[in-house]
Amino acid sequence: MEKKLLETDVLIIGGGSAGMWAANRFKDLQPDKEVVIVDKGPKDWGGLMTMAGGDFDAVMPDENIADWMEDFVYYFDGLCDQPLMEEILKCSFDRMQDYQRNGCTFFKKDDGSLKSVPQRGLPHVKLYPAQLKGRGGEMMVRALVEQLQQKNVKRLGRILITDLLKQKERVVGAVGFDTLNGDFYVIKAQAVVAATGVGGWKTSYGKNTPTGEGVELVYKAGARLKDFEFSRVWNMPKYFGWEGQTTLMPLGGRFVNALGEPFMEKYSPILKANTDPHFTTIAMAMEIRAGRGPIYFDISQINPDDLVLLKPQNGWQLMNYEKLRDLGMDLFRDNTQWVPQMTISYGGMDAGIHGETNVPGLFAAGTARSTEPGVYAGGFALMTTSVTGYLAGEGVARFLEEQPQVEITLDEDEISSLQKEIYAPLGKDGLSPKAVLTEIQQIMFPYNVSIIKTETALQDALHRLKTLQLTKIPQMAAKDAHYLLKLREVRAVAFVSELYLRASLERKESRAGHYREDYPQRDDAYLGWLTIEQDAAQQMQFAWEPVPTAQYKYPITRYYSDNFTFIKKD
């Protein structure tokens, strides 16, 4: 194993949508400066976007930003960072145009206009599906990689960054290791962008790389986090993966219980099935708990003309559909069994419009920064990650213009102790990361921890998790560099699980994607973001950052969660 030293102006951790956009924009502004993107996955794979269908939210020039803002303030139950969201919406059409200019096409109707699909029963928010449904994200990755090549951005794959380096409070680089051959990397940089995505629980297709090492490393460097009480509780087929069900809902797709009842009508008489999947999942779990499971997906109400938009035509979606059909399972013919499932965490860095965090020299981009409180409109992520990546690129460019270049002197003792810590589990006998992951999943997945939360269940889970962190995490071992990566991932999954449990206990109300059965009403005392920071004694400090309603442009008068009967109104 070798030790490798790199030096660059800007280090971008994570080559997903956000990281690539940040690099791209930075290079437009400062073409002579050097940028390196480092990713734990394959070089140029593009993160989750490589699997994305390509649905994109954008406010068209003939629409009003204010209309969309009102939708989001309502949809987020007030937890909307209004200046940030306004900026995202303002830039959304420009980023969509950038994609179109670079060869990505969106689905057009017969009259040549773009096809849009309204989202979650909201009056204005809508997505634009990619032309090649199922390969839209892949095309976007290709377009961005081409740009990065032209602009001379250096890209490295299969390297996990584990720790940030600081000099007098300013972030000046990072260390990590090559997950194939184990080489140790030390990277000096004038500024760092963390575009590392979210945390999560490795629940199969598309959810196996967002595991939270980025969350752990920025937290250790002093970054303020927020929104960890929210997790993505989604619905998925019991036996296989499926993508695209959210596009089916506004067009008549729905879930039915074992009695054949379309139960969402009962839980949400106004929105019915056409709502946010987090609320559908809560209702699903309630039906199963009441003995009315299993739950099936029913497409009998969809207009056959719309099915052309919905049938998988490309990429993963088509291959998946055909493989399942060959096994006698046709989602477009049969009712298939679906289950509620916790998948990834929301939550991320608390950052300003241009990605600036509370730590000088550290910028946040994409889903690594928090933008939504546990509800999710289709097409939202490709919009927010492109825009926040772009804005972080601008933030870093300004930072480097305004701040003096620092002479970086490495603290060799610190580096060798980080190196020792990284390789300590290597070549030893011990627990396999996968076995420990399964134990974490067993703690986290029960419905009263992940979906319909209660104090007792959360406390019990936290107690079990703390025991696991003390007894099992240190006993994990890695045969080789591959397993060393998996081990770090599982450690981060445990860390993010702790953030989720503690934050869920703190928010004693139900709001947006967070549902507490023992506090089933909204409480104005919690109209704010729950932030988390490490204090000097290395303890987790929680604090409330109230929504600054007096300064905000859009009043909070309506709440999306009021549409659901399980949210109690005093």
Ligand X SMILES: Cc1cc2nc3c(=O)[nH]c(=O)nc-3n(C[C@H](O)[C@H](O)[C@H](O)COP(=O)(O)OP(=O)(O)OC[C@H]3O[C@@H](n4cnc5c(N)ncnc54)[C@H](O)[C@@H]3O)c2cc1C
- Shortest distance (Å) from residue 483 CB to another protein: 8
Q: Which two tokens stand for residue 320?
A: 């998946």
Q: Which of 508, 52, 53 is nearest to 313 (CA)?
A: 53
**254 close to 273: Cβ distance less than 8 angstroms:** yes
| Residue 239 sits in the site that holds another protein (CB under 8 A) | yes
- Which of 125, 164, 191, 195 lies at the binding interface for ligand X (CB under 6 A)? 195
| Residue 442 sits in the site that holds another protein (CB under 8 A) | yes
Task: Report what 14 binds from another protein, ligand X, none; CB cut-off 5-8 Å by kind.
Answer: ligand X
Q: How many CB atoms lie within 10 A of CB 51?
A: 22
| Residue 381 sits in the site that holds ligand X (CB under 6 A) | yes
3-class SS string, 293-341: CCEEEECCCCCHHHHHHHCCCCHHHHHHHHHHHHCCCCCCCCCEEEEEE
- Which of 185, 316, 376, 560 lies at the binding interface for another protein (CB under 8 A)? 316
- Shortest distance (Å) from residue 362 CB to another protein: 26
- Which of 54, 312, 347, 513 lies at the binding interface for ligand X (CB under 6 A)? 54
Q: How many residues bind another protein (CB under 8 A)?
A: 47
Binding to another protein (CB under 8 A): which residues in 177-196? 179-180
| Residue 278 sits in the site that holds another protein (CB under 8 A) | no
Q: x/- binding map, residues 349-368, to another protein, per CB under 8 A? A: --------------------
> Any bridge partners for residue 165, and if so which?
173
| Residue 255 sits in the site that holds another protein (CB under 8 A) | no
Give residue 88's identity as a one-letter amino acid code: I
Give residue 358's identity as a one-letter amino acid code: N
Residue with tokens 């992951």: 437
Cα–Cα dist 189/6, whole Å = 9
| Residue 173 sits in the site that holds ligand X (CB under 6 A) | no
Q: x/- binding map, residues 528-557, to ligand X, per CB under 6 A? A: ------------------------------
CA angle at 54 for the pair 357 and 347, rounded to the nearest 5°: 30
Binding to ligand X (CB under 6 A): which residues in 233-272? 243
- Which of 58, 161, 249, 392 lies at the binding interface for ligand X (CB under 6 A)? 161
- Which of 379, 395, 425, 528 lies at the binding interface for ligand X (CB under 6 A)? 379
Q: Which of 295, 299, 278, 275 is nearest to 287 (CA)?
A: 295
| Residue 9 sits in the site that holds ligand X (CB under 6 A) | no
Q: Which of 82, 81, 40 is nearest to 65 (CA)?
A: 82
Give residue 343's identity as a one-letter amino acid code: T
Helices (H), 30-119: 65-75, 82-101
- Which of 1, 66, 327, 424 lies at the binding interface for another protein (CB under 8 A)? 327
Distance from the first to the final alpha carbon of the chain:
62
Return all residues near 548 (Cβ < 8 A) that are at least 6 apart. Answer: none
Return all residues near 537 (Cβ < 8 A) that are at least 6 apart. Answer: none
CA angle at 229 for the pair 337 and 210, rounded to the nearest 5°: 65
Cα–Cα dist 91/78, whole Å = 22
Decide the pairing of beta strands 225-226 and 348-349.
antiparallel
| Residue 223 sits in the site that holds ligand X (CB under 6 A) | no
| Residue 347 sits in the site that holds ligand X (CB under 6 A) | no
**495 close to 544: Cβ distance less than 8 angstroms:** no
Q: x/- binding map, residues 34-53, to ligand X, per CB under 6 A? A: ----xxxx-----xxx-xxx
| Residue 293 sits in the site that holds another protein (CB under 8 A) | yes
Question: Looking at 68-76, 195-203, 231-239, 501-509, which segment touches ligand X (CB under 6 A)?
Answer: 195-203
Task: Report what 320 binds from another protein, ligand X, none; CB cut-off 5-8 Å by kind.
Answer: another protein
Q: Which is nearer to ligand X, 187 or 461 (CB)?
A: 187
Cα–Cα dist 62/56, whole Å = 17
Q: x/- binding map, residues 95-134, to ligand X, per CB under 6 A? A: ----------------------------------------
- Shortest distance (Å) from residue 336 CB to another protein: 12
Task: Report what 244 binds from another protein, ligand X, none; CB cut-off 5-8 Å by kind.
Answer: none
Q: Which is nearer to ligand X, 104 or 368 (CB)?
A: 368
> Any bridge partners for residue 533, and if so which?
541
Return all residues near 375 (Cβ < 8 A) that are at least 6 apart. Answer: 75, 76, 120, 276, 278, 512, 513, 560
Q: 530 phi and psi, to 5 degrees?
A: -90, 115
Q: Which is nearer to another protein, 29 or 258 (CB)?
A: 258
**213 close to 37: Cβ distance less than 8 angstroms:** no
Task: Report what 442 binds from ligand X, another protein, none; CB cut-off 5-8 Å by kind.
Answer: another protein
Residue with tokens 């241009």: 354
Task: Report what 356 binds from another protein, ligand X, none; CB cut-off 5-8 Å by kind.
Answer: none
Which residue ranges make up the site for ligand X (CB under 6 A)?
13-19, 38-41, 47-49, 51-55, 137, 160-161, 195-197, 206, 209-210, 213-214, 243, 366-368, 379-382, 385
Which residue ranges make up the site for another protein (CB under 8 A)?
41-43, 45, 50-51, 158, 179-180, 202-209, 239-241, 285, 288-289, 293-294, 315-316, 319-320, 323-324, 327, 339-341, 434, 438, 441-442, 445-447, 450-451, 482, 485-486
